[in-house]
Amino acid sequence: MYRSILIQAEDFSLDSALAELKTQSGLAGGLCFFTGAVRNSNLDEAVGGLYLEHYPGMTERQLDQIVDEAARRWQLHGVIVIHRIGQLMPGDNIVLVAVAASHRGEAFEACEMMMDYLKTNATFWKKESISDGHRWVEARSSDQTKATAWDA
Amino acid sequence: MKVLFFAALRETMGQSEIEIVLEAPTTVGALKAMIKMPNGETLNAASRNQSIMAAVDQEMVDDLATVSVASEVAFFPPVTGG
C-alpha cells in the first residue's frame, strides 16, 4: 500500500495529491478524500487567522498509527495524509486525507475513520485570531463520540 | 527526564519544557502532583477543572501509566487538529 504522511507549513495542491495517489495505487478504482480549510468565523465571531501548533515526533507517530489502523480494517491501495502547521489565513488549506481502494465503500469508510481519529488523537492544537485577541479552539465532545464509535 | 507542555497549557506554564530528576520510576498521576503551575496549583489539582492529556514517550496514556527516569512526558489540552 502506498503511504505518504506530511506535516508541513507550506500549502498543498489537491490536484497534485490526488494525481499522486492515483499514480501510486494502480489497482485502485475508488478514490475518496476529505479536505479541511480555515473558516472565516467560529462561535459567532469573525476569525482573522489560525495558528496550528503540534508535537513534533508524536504527531507523525499518531498519524502513522491511524493509517495502520485503516489499512488493517480495509483493503486499501494508497493513503495520503497532509496536515499544515504554523500561521494560516481564512480559506487556507489545513488538512487532506485521501484514500485509494478498489471500490467506493472501503474508500468512504477509511477516509471517515481516519479523519475521526485524526481529530481526537493527532497532537495538533488550533489558536484563532479574533477581534480582541486570540483564543485556543476547544475540543468538541461530538468528535470524541464519532471516534469512539469506530471502536465499538 | 524531560516534561513538555503544549498549546494553552504551555502558555499557562510560561514554558514549553522542564527537566525533572527522578530517583525512581513513578506514575503520570504522581508526576502531575509534583508539577506546579505559576499560580501554585499542581497539574493534578488543575486537571479537576480542565482536561489535561498526557503522553509518555509519545504515546497517549492515563494517570496510572509508568514514567521511567529517562521518559519523555508531555501534558497538553485535548487536541483540536483537522
Closest CA to A62 of A10, A114, A16: A114
Q: CB of A10 within 8 Å of any CB in chain B? A: no
Residue A67 confidence (pLDDT): 98
Q: What CATH code would you report for B2-76? A: 3.10.20.30
Interface of B with A (CB under 8 A): 4, 6-8, 51, 55, 58-60, 74, 76-82
**Closest residue of chain B to A120, computed from CA coordinates:** B79
In a domain, A145, yes or no: no
* Chain B, nearest residue to A93 by Cα: B82
Q: What is the pLDDT of residue B34?
A: 96
Asked if B63 and B52 touch (Cβ cutoff 8 Å), the reply is: no
Could you tell me if the ipTM is greater than 0.90? yes
* Closest approach of A18 to chain B, Cα-based (Å): 18
pLDDT tens digits for B26-44? Answer: 999 999 999 999 999 999 9
Burial of residue A15 (number of CB atoms within 10 Å: 0-12, 13-18, 19+): exposed
The CATH number of residue A91's host domain is 3.90.1170.40
User: With contacts defined as CB-CB under 8 Å, which chain A residues touch B78?
Assistant: 120, 138-139
Q: Please give the helix or strand (H or E) that residue A51 lies within, else none.
A: strand A49-54
The pLDDT assigned to A152 comes to 86
Those residues of chain A that have pLDDT short of 70 are: none
Do B82 and A123 count as a contact with CB atoms less than 8 A apart?
A: no
Region B3-22: what's the mean pLDDT?
A: 97
pLDDT given at position A28: 84
Q: Domain containing A85: what range?
A: 2-131
In a domain, A147, yes or no: no
Residues of A in contact with B61 (CB under 8 A): none
* Residue A1 near chain B (CB below 8 Å): no
Number of folded domains that form chain A: 1
The pLDDT tens digits for A17-30 are 999 999 999 878 89
Alpha helices in B5-77 (DSSP H): 7-13, 28-34, 43-46
Cα B39 to Cα B37: distance, rounded to the nearest angstrom: 5
A138 part of a folded domain: no
Cβ distance of A127 and B7 shorter than 8 Å: yes
Domain residue limits, chain B: 2-76
Alpha helix locations (H) across chain A? 14-24, 58-73, 104-121, 141-149
Mutate to test the interface with B, among A35, A51, A53, A63 (most CBs of B within 10 A): A53
Nearest chain B residue (CA) to A134 = B8
